Amino acid sequence: MSGAVDLSALKARSDAANRPAPAGPPPGGAPSGGAPPSGFVVDVSEATFQADVLERSMEVPVVVDLWAEWCGPCKQLSPVLERLAAAGNGSWILAKVDVDANPRIAQAFGAQSIPMVVAVVGGQPVDAFNGAQPEPQVRQWIASLLDALRERMPAIAAAEAAAGGAPEPEEEPEDPRFTAAEDALEQGDYAAAEAAYQDILNVEPANEQAVAALAQVRFLARAEAVDPDAVTKADAAPDDVDAQLAAADAEIAGDGVEAAFARLVATAGRVFGDDRDRVREHLVGLFELFPADDARVTAARRALARVLF
């Protein structure tokens, strides 16, 4: 959002509102470097916007919560933000803005609906979201914000250290579908593992983890049954497609990746029709055993394209 929202007008109004005030922290604010009276949550008005939002955002991120008493979703989100701010121990500050009492602040942020949450850093809005989000999602949003700014804003790390260090990232719950597939694989039941991964792909065809795991399972099942003399037999029968496929598996299992790829590319150049399709599909399946940016895979893909097209 940086650059898309101009907060200078709010700063000017805040300055004007505070000129007649006696020396000391503005109402609702706190001295530089100190915690606001209510801990790490502060109610903000136009008069205190500069001190409580702009100036404090030079030290730590300030998360602005635009809310109203009549807003039902606000009443769900605000307590979540307040709990997380307290747990943050000053690594970030929650600035609550009642949009009915402070409509110009809402206008400055371009709020079309509430609740609206805006992260302000260095006097500029940098990220935002609308609507009442689930607590895990809000926690992740704040964690990502702090991770991106920790090196640039030492006060974040200082606050976390005072609280016993940065919170450990929560482990994602295990997907029971993958757990079942992995259990089958550990037991050597390749058929059950393959079926489990295929079930995942039937529902989520673009699940990269399942695609890679399925390729691994299929290869392991073939490699376990490969003939120790597969390479010798294939070299003696270059036009035997089955022999070439088996030899390529044996070479992959023996870490002869480039040799396996070269074998199948050469075979694809010698055969036609269904046999060529079988070789191509087998080779593409072997590609999936490796990262897409593996140099050996890249080179073999180019060689296969030259043969096929």
Asked if residue 140 is part of any domain, the answer here is: yes
State the DSSP code for 1: -
Asked if residue 170 is part of any domain, the answer here is: no
What pLDDT is recorded for position 101?
Answer: 94
DSSP state string for 247-306: HHHHHHHTT-HHHHHHHHHHHHHH--HHHHHHHHHHHHHHHTTS-TT-HHHHHHHHHHHH
Q: For residues 52 and 50, give the distance between their C-alpha atoms in angstroms, rounded to a whole number.
A: 6
What pLDDT is recorded for position 273?
Answer: 93
Domain residues for the domain of 264 are: 176-308
Asked if residue 30 is part of any domain, the answer here is: no
83 and 130 belong to one structural domain = yes
Asked if residue 2 is part of any domain, the answer here is: no
CATH number, domain containing residue 67: 3.40.30.10
What pLDDT is recorded for position 42?
Answer: 94
User: Which of 163, 190, 210 finishes a domain?
Assistant: 163
120 and 209 belong to one structural domain = no
What pLDDT is recorded for position 160?
Answer: 86
Of 65, 59, 64, nearest to 32 (Cα)?
59
What pLDDT is recorded for position 164?
Answer: 67
13 and 108 belong to one structural domain = yes
User: Which of 128, 163, 198 finishes a domain?
Assistant: 163
CA quadruple 26, 16, 43, 146: dihedral positive or negative?
negative
Asked if residue 40 is part of any domain, the answer here is: yes
Asked if residue 99 is part of any domain, the answer here is: yes
198 and 96 belong to one structural domain = no
146 and 13 belong to one structural domain = yes
What pTM was estimated for this model as a whole? 0.46
152 and 12 belong to one structural domain = yes
Asked if residue 22 is part of any domain, the answer here is: no
Q: Which of 44, 60, 64, 71 is catalytic?
A: 71
What pLDDT is recorded for position 195?
Answer: 94
What pLDDT is recorded for position 21?
Answer: 38
151 and 229 belong to one structural domain = no
12 and 146 belong to one structural domain = yes
* pLDDT by residue, tens only, the chain of 309 residues: 544 444 555 555 555 444 443 333 333 333 333 333 346 999 999 999 999 999 999 999 999 999 999 999 999 999 999 999 999 999 999 999 999 999 999 999 988 899 999 999 999 999 999 988 888 889 999 999 999 999 999 999 888 888 765 555 555 677 888 999 899 988 989 999 999 999 999 998 888 888 889 888 999 988 888 898 999 999 999 999 999 999 999 999 988 999 999 999 999 999 999 999 999 999 999 998 888 889 999 999 999 999 888
100 and 245 belong to one structural domain = no
To which H or E segment does residue 97 belong? strand 93-98
Domain count, the chain: 2
Asked if residue 25 is part of any domain, the answer here is: no
Q: Which of 60, 74, 106, 132 is catalytic?
A: 74
Based on the residue annotation, tell me whether 71 is a catalytic residue of this protein: yes
DSSP state string for 147-168: HHHTTT-HHHHHHHHHTTSSPP
138 and 188 belong to one structural domain = no
13 and 145 belong to one structural domain = yes
Cross-strand pairs, 251:
none
Q: Is the CB of residue 134 less than 8 Å from the CB of residue 105?
A: no
149 and 189 belong to one structural domain = no
User: Which of 137, 163, 189 finishes a domain?
Assistant: 163
